[in-house]
Structure 1
Amino acid sequence: MPEGIARRMQEEGIAKADAFLTSTWCARRLSKAELNKHAPREPIEGWEFYVQPEENVYRCHVIVDHQFPYSLPKFLLADVPTFPSWPHVEPDGNLCLRRTNRILRPNEPADVLGVLLGQVVDLIRRGELGLNLEDFQAEFYSYWNFSLEDDAASVFSLLNANAPSRFVRIWPGETRSIVGESEAQVLTWQRHRWGNKPQFDKTVPACLLWLPEVLLPNQFPRSASDLVALARMVSNGKELLERFSRLKLSTYYFVLGATGANGPCFAAVSSQPPQTPEIRTFRKHGTLNGFRKGKMPQAVVAARLFSSSVKAQRLRIDRVDANWIHGRGHDPHQPVLALKHVIVIGCGSVGAPIAEQLTKAGVGRIDIIDPEALTAANTGRHPLGAESIGTNKAIGMAGRLQRDHPHATVRGFDLSYQEFIFRHLEILQSASLIISATANWTAENLLNAQRIRGEIDAPLIFTWTEPHACAGHAVLLCAQSPCLQCGMTTEGALKTNVTIWTDSRDGELTEPACGAVFQPYGFIELQATISLASGLAIEALIDPAKRSVHRVSQTTTAFLKSAGGEWNPNWIEGYAERATGGLQTEINWEKNEQCPACSSKSIDESSISESQIGISNSPSALAS
């Protein structure tokens, strides 16, 4: 550790710890050779002491690492019991204590040791008396994973974490397998994650046994006969096992599920049929010995196939189902969001992050529309980076989100919005919510007109920023009226902007190219608008709104002024808090009785003309 305050604190901390342990617990310093026994934990000092919570005396070690006193001491049983004997004791004897940062007080290491030593004594006492065996079940994954062999294969689970026991499907790989409720579910996940490869063509049956309670370590299956014993614990287990044994599989995969104190959990096990040698080195299923083919009773087949001589290979299992990924099984909104379909129009620096946030929030299906390719200049405020330059934004973003979240369905369309509705109107009509992040009045006007005339039933969100992203807007429309035009000018500008600019170009700059205008703000400035729109979208999906609303985010006054802008007096009039900036506001999106788009006078039997909505076969310029 470098010289200075950290070194001095460490030396003082060790001296205080030594004084406390030697005087209060009759501890002695560990030798260098004794410290080396704990080398994987990188100790720099350690002590030995004894505790006797009940009948037996236990030799313990406490060690500190190079970060001490800014890290907590570790306590170990020096005479390591067979693992797993007690809950919260790791294979090297380390005691898993309640190590929270609230205990950490670098200036008072003796107090810290006193608190932790109390936990040590209580843990050993409860272990000796067998008072905490249920902790094995509450923390099942820790003990199951510790029990695995170093080269244990992994299983990714898409299964629903509930009863009953049932047959499921598994794609078996050499080092990693995928198990799910159906073949379609498993193969779709595979293709979403790794691409449409030829090996992702079929699955095989697996057996899920939903047990009445979580297994204790001494119940972990070691042979196939242990799986038979577990099957007898469930109501239809014997029938499932006999049906499973009829299948001529090279490997039999079992998933064990149960619900414990901390929720449902899974384990995975595989077994292979017994083999017996024949001449010329060929091997055959040992289950047939002594019987002609087809003459062996099924009960005997099952007994031989899953006998005590057949090893049960325990496997590592990781849940990758949507319910676990989004909230670890405790997000009450996940079952709702997983069924929702959102369309994001515009995959620029606002639309792309919105699509990403909604995917991470658990929306089950997202379609992204944008006709433009990513340029180098876009990468400063777009989720896609340099490797995607030249790639269509929608297709590139959808591909990345699909690989990262294979349980969802994310698609990209290299089309303008006008082209999309001519080719995929049925997709639009199936949406739960449509978000427009185009900053393109032509596309927004068309979408607004479709909503007014009932071509689209889904709620709409329009989102955009003012110059330099000093203000952001998200408007949720949940009925045909009010419409977007109600609050806009006929040119597509908000009737009352939040900011005003002394520069007639609103701070726009021009690249050395024809028509290449831009504003030099970055990704950070956009975050308020992105979160504004994403949050409103989630609310609309979970609890469909009864009214149309307009949410506004404001940057700080200092940033606004540094960019050359001011707050619009019409915006802050009567609302003193708006003049300070740095806040979010929600107001009603009011109906305009004279609206040229949705007033009763404007809606008649004639359809809106192509010139009014700007229908064109050429791509529109969506936000970059």
Structure 2
Amino acid sequence: MFSRHQFPAAVSEVADWLAASDYHKAGAVRAVHYGSRAEWWLDLSGLGYPIQAVKISLNPEFPAAPCELFVDPKHCLALPHVEEDGRVCLATAPRPEDYVSPITAVAVALDQFSTQLLHKSNSPLWIEREFHQERASYWNRFNLQALEARGARPPPRVTFVDVPAVDSWMEGSIAAYVRTSSKRQRIAVQVVTSKDHDPDALAKRHSWAEGTFMRGSSIFIRLPEAQLWTPATWPQTFQEIVNLAHSATGGELSLETWLRSAASAVHEGPAGNNKVALGQQPLLVVFALGTELYGYQLSPPAVSIVETLHVTPIIIHRIDPQWIFARDHATAVVNQRLSKRVLLLGCGSLGCQVAEVLARSGVGKIDIVDMEIFDGPNISRHVLGMSAVRRGKAPSVAACITKEIPRIVVQGFAETAQRWVLEHCKPGKHDLVIDCTADSGVRQFLALNRDRLLGDVPVAHAWVEPFCSATHVVASMLDAPWPATDPVHPNVSAATYPASTKVQLPACSDGFHPYGSSDIMQAAGFCSERIISIIDRPLEVSTVWSYVRSQAFFDGLGVPGIETNPIVPSQGAPNDGISITRRLVDLLGKE
């Protein structure tokens, strides 16, 4: 009977249990079908709850997949924890004991259904509290229902919003794009910013600006913290939106007045461009509750007759820095990082990944300098790929970060570190200088010209030893700098290596040290963590951070002539290593 199931015996146990249950004796069990799922309806009509029946549904993987329960889909947005198809969200997960006792798995699900939903379903206060507590999820379901029931112009497929926190209310600008292939002229993407930013520029930065371009207007309204946001309180008509906006702003905002003004401004178009037929331009009202945004798109027939406007709820996708970089957690750290200006010298296998981590951490301005061209063999241990072959490393990484990570200002320069610093640097231009060139000449140059060109800012030198056997970050202040003598060996290094370690290529001074993507990614993570700590907290003392692999790693290389230093741990497997923090002054004192 249950041949389509992976565990037919388990399903049979459940069927026999239901056949012998009190539900069955009362005639309240009805098997639906025995196809890909085994399903039974339990009649609950005599219990006095809004839910009249619940369906037990076991998919073909049960009990590897949990028992699912369904009720009438009409309860979606009428009762909490009910999805569009009637599925009851119980947050259950399969347990090891379910394989031994599948009946228990079903019984537990039914018990959760009873205690978490059924027995509370007659309480209006509980219903409102649950809806408000998980309001973002229910708003998404509301949008899906509105999309299916809609007879007017469809809403934009995606709405991206980058605005600062809303105090009372503020206006915004919209850049919208309609694909030429859209028969219904549906907006594919609309990008919304505050009025002092250009949403079209933001759309172009992230390759969203495809199709016919339209300008529009938006308004953001702060709701009181005590405002309930539930199916019972959501505005459903334009007049209800007007009333809520009026109430939330203490009568300060007249939405009808704003709407007429916004529609007129968009119709006229800036400098005669981007003219849109009256009633067709994008118009958006967004309510801010806490850090959440809930939007309504306003649609024709005509903006001059505001009472007849069609309102459509839409899902807002925030792309502001506080959400993108921290999901609204520790926003003070995000704001601080956004204000930082970093100079990164070197964009090879280490520097490129440090650049990406800095950008994804929210560091506001990054200048990347590297004169080298990206080539095919670099792909195995670089963030760039085939699309960047034969292009400059620094400009390509900067372009990639600019396209994929919002708000961060990244510039790439195909020059030598020495020339760029001489021509562009002056004290106060950057908050941190990072050297990932692994070039002794660059370290010497920075040491000799630091005070004149960089001023009193931290300088961090980061490099890896051959085979990525050790990784080092030397972070120094002006009063205790890295010396021009560049005493890497033996003060900092984990080992000394024979010249044969470098693989020579048939070209002038051309060659490489062998290591893989996972090796350099581990090293980049170590370096980036320390560098970010300098950005977040002032560097109090010049410090050397090192990650050193075990002696077993060096022994396993099979390369004769490597001489390890005392910092290499004698214990541990080949993949083990240790992190070491040392004061720079202590290391220099060993000379």
Interval of TM-score (by shorter of Structure 1 and Structure 2)? 0.7 to 0.9
CA 1:591/1:48 → structure 2, altered by over 3 Å: closer, same or farther? same
**Alignment partner, residue 245 of structure 2:** 231
CA 1:438/1:569 → structure 2, altered by over 3 Å: closer, same or farther? closer
Q: How many residues align?
A: 541
Letter in 2 for 1:448: A
DSSP-derived class of the 2:7 partner:
helix
Q: Deviations over 1:401-457 (max 9, x none)?
A: 11111222222111111221243225x742222211001111222222333446333
**Alignment partner, residue 585 of structure 1:** 580
2:432, 2:292 → 1: CA distance?
A: 34
CA 1:493/1:31 → structure 2, altered by over 3 Å: closer, same or farther? same
CA shift, 1:134, in A, is 2.1
Report if the CA contact (8 A) 1:269-1:313 is conserved.
yes
Q: Aligned runs of 1:546-585 on 2, under 5 Å?
A: 546-564=540-558, 568-572=564-568, 581-585=576-580
**Alignment partner, residue 120 of structure 1:** 113
Verify: 1:334 aligned to 2:342, yes or no.
no
DSSP-derived class of the 1:216 partner:
coil
DSSP-derived class of the 1:463 partner:
strand
**Alignment partner, residue 26 of structure 1:** 23
Residue 39 (structure 2) aligned to one of 37, 46, 56: 46
2:590, 2:66 → 1: CA distance?
A: 67
1:583, 1:384 → 2: CA distance?
A: 30
Verify: 1:413 aligned to 2:404, yes or no.
no
2:106, 2:527 → 1: CA distance?
A: 49
Report if the CA contact (8 A) 1:48-1:60 is conserved.
yes
Residue 199 (structure 2) aligned to one of 175, 186, 206: 186
CA shift, 1:348, in A, is 0.5
1:106, 1:361 → 2: CA distance?
A: 44
**Alignment partner, residue 17 of structure 1:** 14
DSSP-derived class of the 1:552 partner:
strand
CA 1:19/1:458 → structure 2, altered by over 3 Å: closer, same or farther? farther
Verify: 1:266 aligned to 2:266, yes or no.
no
CA 1:179/1:352 → structure 2, altered by over 3 Å: closer, same or farther? same
TM-score normalized with structure 2 length: 0.83
Report if the CA contact (8 A) 1:488-1:494 is conserved.
no
Q: Deviations over 1:512-563 (max 9, x none)?
A: 3333211221111122321111001111111112111111112344332222
**Alignment partner, residue 219 of structure 2:** 207
1:166, 1:8 → 2: CA distance?
A: 57
2:558, 2:419 → 1: CA distance?
A: 38
Letter in 1 for 2:31: L
Letter in 2 for 1:32: H
Unaligned runs of 5+ in 1: 36-42, 276-284, 288-303, 597-624
Give identity over the alignment, percent. 21
Verify: 1:485 aligned to 2:483, yes or no.
yes
1:104, 1:237 → 2: CA distance?
A: 60
CA shift, 1:316, in A, is 2.3
DSSP-derived class of the 2:347 partner:
coil
Report if the CA contact (8 A) 2:175-2:216 is conserved.
yes
DSSP-derived class of the 1:30 partner:
strand
Report if the CA contact (8 A) 2:550-2:571 is conserved.
no
Letter in 2 for 1:94: R
Letter in 1 for 2:579: Q
Report if the CA contact (8 A) 1:488-1:495 is conserved.
no
2:197, 2:415 → 1: CA distance?
A: 29
Letter in 1 for 2:316: I
1:567, 1:220 → 2: CA distance?
A: 71
DSSP-derived class of the 1:222 partner:
coil
Report if the CA contact (8 A) 1:140-1:265 is conserved.
no
CA shift, 1:330, in A, is 1.4
Letter in 1 for 2:106: L
Residue 95 (structure 1) aligned to one of 88, 92, 99: 88
CA shift, 1:265, in A, is 1.1
2:482, 2:233 → 1: CA distance?
A: 63
1:499, 1:101 → 2: CA distance?
A: 51
1:18, 1:197 → 2: CA distance?
A: 55
2:70, 2:328 → 1: CA distance?
A: 33
CA shift, 1:113, in A, is 2.5
Q: Greater CA deviation, 47-56 or 348-357?
A: 47-56
DSSP-derived class of the 2:192 partner:
strand
DSSP-derived class of the 2:248 partner:
coil
1:551, 1:320 → 2: CA distance?
A: 35
For the aligned residue pairs, the C-alpha RMSD in angstroms reads 3.2
CA 1:13/1:204 → structure 2, altered by over 3 Å: closer, same or farther? same
Verify: 1:498 aligned to 2:498, yes or no.
no
Letter in 2 for 1:339: S
Report if the CA contact (8 A) 2:366-2:411 is conserved.
yes
DSSP-derived class of the 1:113 partner:
helix
Report if the CA contact (8 A) 1:258-1:265 is conserved.
yes
DSSP-derived class of the 1:194 partner:
coil
Q: Deviations over 1:205-240 (max 9, x none)?
A: 421111122422233333321211111221345534
1:63, 1:159 → 2: CA distance?
A: 44
TM-score normalized with structure 1 length: 0.79
DSSP-derived class of the 2:73 partner:
coil
DSSP-derived class of the 1:13 partner:
helix
CA 1:162/1:105 → structure 2, altered by over 3 Å: closer, same or farther? farther
DSSP-derived class of the 1:585 partner:
strand
Report if the CA contact (8 A) 1:155-1:268 is conserved.
no
Report if the CA contact (8 A) 2:463-2:473 is conserved.
yes
**Alignment partner, residue 298 of structure 1:** none
Residue 74 (structure 1) aligned to one of 65, 68, 72: 68
Report if the CA contact (8 A) 1:208-1:254 is conserved.
yes
Q: Greater CA deviation, 561-570 or 517-526?
A: 561-570
**Alignment partner, residue 618 of structure 1:** none
CA shift, 1:194, in A, is 2.2
DSSP-derived class of the 1:146 partner:
helix
Residue 256 (structure 1) aligned to one of 273, 287, 303: 287
Q: Deviations over 1:448-488 (max 9, x none)?
A: 233344633321111111111011101111x2132222884
Higher relative contact order (CA 8 A, sep 6+): 1
CA 1:455/1:435 → structure 2, altered by over 3 Å: closer, same or farther? closer
Q: Deviations over 1:60-100 (max 9, x none)?
A: 112222332222121110x3325321111112111111235
DSSP-derived class of the 2:499 partner:
coil
CA 1:219/1:334 → structure 2, altered by over 3 Å: closer, same or farther? same
Q: Deviations over 1:266-299 (max 9, x none)?
A: 1111224654xxxxxxxxx6x4xxxxxxxxxxxx
Q: Aligned runs of 1:534-553 on 2, under 5 Å?
A: 534-553=528-547
CA 1:564/1:453 → structure 2, altered by over 3 Å: closer, same or farther? farther
Report if the CA contact (8 A) 2:200-2:209 is conserved.
no
Q: Deviations over 1:358-408 (max 9, x none)?
A: 211222222211111111111010111122111111111111111111222
Letter in 2 for 1:322: P
Unaligned runs of 5+ in 2: 149-153, 178-186, 267-278
Report if the CA contact (8 A) 1:370-1:394 is conserved.
yes
Report if the CA contact (8 A) 2:222-2:248 is conserved.
yes
CA 1:324/1:29 → structure 2, altered by over 3 Å: closer, same or farther? same
2:410, 2:98 → 1: CA distance?
A: 48
DSSP-derived class of the 1:438 partner:
coil
DSSP-derived class of the 2:220 partner:
strand
